[in-house]
Structure 1
Amino acid sequence: MNEFAIGGDLPVRRLGFGAMHLPTDAGPARENAIAVARRAVELGITLIDTAHLYGGGANEELLAEALHPYPDDLVVTTKVGVVRTGDDWKYDGRPESLRSQVDAGLKRLRVERIELLQLHRVDPETPLADQLGALRELRDAGKIGRIGLSEITVDELTRAREIVDIASVQNRYSLLDRSHEAVLEACEEARIAFLPWRPVLGSASNATAEIAGVASELGVTTAQVGLAWLLARSPVILPIPGTAKIPHLEENFAAAEVTLTDEHLERLGT
């Protein structure tokens, strides 16, 4: 499987794992979630995505319980900027809040430095320069290695790069959801890692006849076709499919070995 160096100096395998769906409540489901996380590392996955928002930090704690001390080549990236308020959540990119969220993430993940820290959403009520300035200060202090963004536009990416180096972008994107094509192209031009979330949405549940046909010809699932298409679409794409089941995890990981021909790609609309 190909690798990509996030920020130019942090190599990871291009097919990662999104931990959002892992249950964190005590009991058999949590034990299974720990087993899934450990199996991901056994398979050779070196990029795992979590966030402050996922369970209010419980997802980060779960990964630490499962995987700490982390393998030297494993990157656990987390996100800040969205907080829970009771049963709801809100954007919160105030510098003091971001600093607090990062410190809490460091503690929960049991690390002194988060190699890739992404702003989960741009807070429209806080100047972008203030949000990224706070993250830049945390990077300069050694608490963050690299800074990423999530669910942004091309204009926001352009403005952000005028403030601080951006190492990654995490937008929704898949074979059947290409609304952020322009953002992907901007990332490709700048060699910024593009981490599509919900990377198999649509290709797994609402497969077109062409997707189903290609899957049948190759003897794989439509979800695997969707992931293989992403890996072929651009060298900066690092899909992070998520699951709470080991067989599904193994199926997703096997997509890295699926080879789509030029004819397949043409049929899929590349």
Structure 2
Amino acid sequence: MVVEKDYDGVKLELKEGGEGMTQGFIEDMIQRFKDGKRIHKKYVFQIILAVKELVYNEPTMVEVEVPEDHKLTVCGDTHGQFYDLLNIFKLAGPPSEAHAYLFNGDFVDRGSWSTEVALTLYAYKMLYPKTFLLNRGNHETDDMNRMYGFEGECRAKYTTDRVFKLFSESFSALPLATLIGSKYLVLHGGLFSDDDVGLDDIRKLNRHKQRQPGQSGLMMEMLWTDPQTEKGRGPSKRGVGLQFGPDITKRFCERNGLEAIIRSHEVRMEGYEVEHDGRCITGKYHYTSICAFP
């Protein structure tokens, strides 16, 4: 695809494997978005395809350590709120090799700047492939994108179905969880209908055989379940998945040597909430950092 001579944005020269993303391109792209402009479709395609390859080759559960003098910031749903995303970087600090980020799903839908949010996150993933991490959320799925606006936004802004189709392929390649320092499991939804499910089951889950989560199974539960105050398990208020009590969380953490699980997926009026005796942390909307490690 040829970039027309009258395109006034910074050009992007990518190498094989997506190498070549620059901070200068990201800054120019962000300014274009703020000015109500778009980047050329060629770069949209290149960014999505490069990130699809990067995340496809990551394990279903990414396992990371936070070196001394480094930091990892975990962020909940951004849901197409571009200026909230920029505010996160302003308040918590920009991404870098020493400042890792983990965005825990639901980048898109609801908000009207979903393509801008997704492309910004993807560009940073290209710039810092080892320290800028992305988990899949329940809104990185085709059904939700059709219902809550992302598919239509892609078509309206880039006048082709191809952009959404590429995003959909990249979403289905995203990891489903991240394990931080062997002690904190970060996933979008929550825990499971079976007490016997553990970290090894997540490691073994071949997410590439199932592009969409469906109505049952580990992938669906990782993307959809919610905590409840009562013990045991209960039906989901969403009609999909289930709810799990503090005893379920305690058993899961003890059996897997975890301090806590960190999740998003639900609105919390204060931006986040620590529940289940400190073993379940939920954060979503307008909250810059669920947790900073160390």
Structures share fold, TM-score greater than 0.5: no
Name the structure where helix makes up a greater proportion of residues. Answer: 1
Instruction: Normalising by structure 1, report the TM-score.
Output: 0.41
Instruction: Normalising by structure 2, report the TM-score.
Output: 0.39
